[in-house]
Structure 1
């Protein structure tokens, strides 16, 4: 999840942006990895994988099938990923206005 060039290669090769692994979508996993990385290392919170997945068409309002139906948007909000929450809010406004 931290290898953006590999992620791009997989998606360009036909990978499904909404595919689930372990009950979570790529976007759910991105939120989890970004928060864990920040928590474990003390480095600043980042949002690059989440932003890339949004740009590729991931839907933060799509509930996971195996993850108790939680959306990535909700997961980010509850877990305090304020950068992803801000991105999702802006994504939602743009979607409503189009």
Structure 2
């Protein structure tokens, strides 16, 4: 597992920040998942496996750093992180992504 994806897997925001500050591509892919896809998956899995409340820390951080939730994985052939969050039931990520889309696309299509 590459270092940035490992930081996402461990939910290590400090390490992830350092890697992104050092030039790691925010849309880096591994096994068909961007960092944002991976964060959504990790947050859901952690919730399901532990029974702890769902959280959105890594997803929020990656969105703040410029990850595009509408970008499709697999070089454009896969699903978007937006779709992954919606279909897997990550309501917190879905809410954040909807707001991201609203603010980043304000003025487009008459919005």
Corresponding position of 1:71: 80
TM-score when normalising by structure 2: 0.84
1:95 Cα deviation (Å)? 1.1
Give the structure with the higher percent helix: 2
Name the larger-Rg structure.
Answer: 2
1:4-83 alignment, distance < 5 Å: 4-65=13-74, 69-83=78-92
Consecutive unaligned residues in structure 1, runs of 5 or more? none
RMSD over aligned Cα atoms: 1.4
Structure 1 stretch displaced more, 29-38 or 65-74: 65-74
Between the two proteins, the alignment pairs up a number of residues equal to 98
TM-score when normalising by structure 1: 0.95
1:37 Cα deviation (Å)? 0.2
More contact order relative to length (CA 8 Å, sep ≥ 6)? 1
Q: Matched residues in 2 for 1:96 and 1:24: separation?
A: 24
Consecutive unaligned residues in structure 2, runs of 5 or more? 1-7
4+ residue segments displaced more than 3 Å: none
- Partner of 1:77, secondary structure, is helix
